[in-house]
Amino acid sequence: MRPAKRNASLRGRSLPEAVRVADHDSQPGPERNAEAITRSGVSARAGVILLGLSLALWVPLPMILFLSLSTGVKATLGGGLVVAAEIAFWLGAVLAGPEAARRTRSWIRKALPKRQPSSR
């Protein structure tokens, strides 16, 4: 559907003008992709939240050992937490996408102190 629309907008134009218009049409603009950007922003936030949830699910895992439950219940509870954390992690990674991963990586790099090169 899109190529037909693009071809229709190029009819009657000189070659340099048609190339310029076609190149401009291929560039994503805020007016064209506002809905797609909003949708991806929401899914990226949900992905980051799921990634945080996956980290939070690992915290109570060592505490299960000290509960006064039977060994079978502890194993089931621990296994369930591990499975839930993995599902949350991978679903969050898919929803967050590569752009959110790049943003998160840049935040981490800014937060960590810069390492000095070792003099050997």
pLDDT-based confidence at residue 101 (cuts at 50, 70, 90): confident
Compute the mean pLDDT over every residue in the chain, rounded to the nearest whole number: 76
* Residue 25 or residue 88, greater confidence: 88
pLDDT digits (tens, 9 = 90+) for 65-76: 999 999 999 999
Question: What does the radius of gyration of the chain's CA atoms come to, in whole angstroms?
Answer: 25
pLDDT digits (tens, 9 = 90+) for 10-46: 566 555 554 554 444 455 555 555 444 445 678 888 8
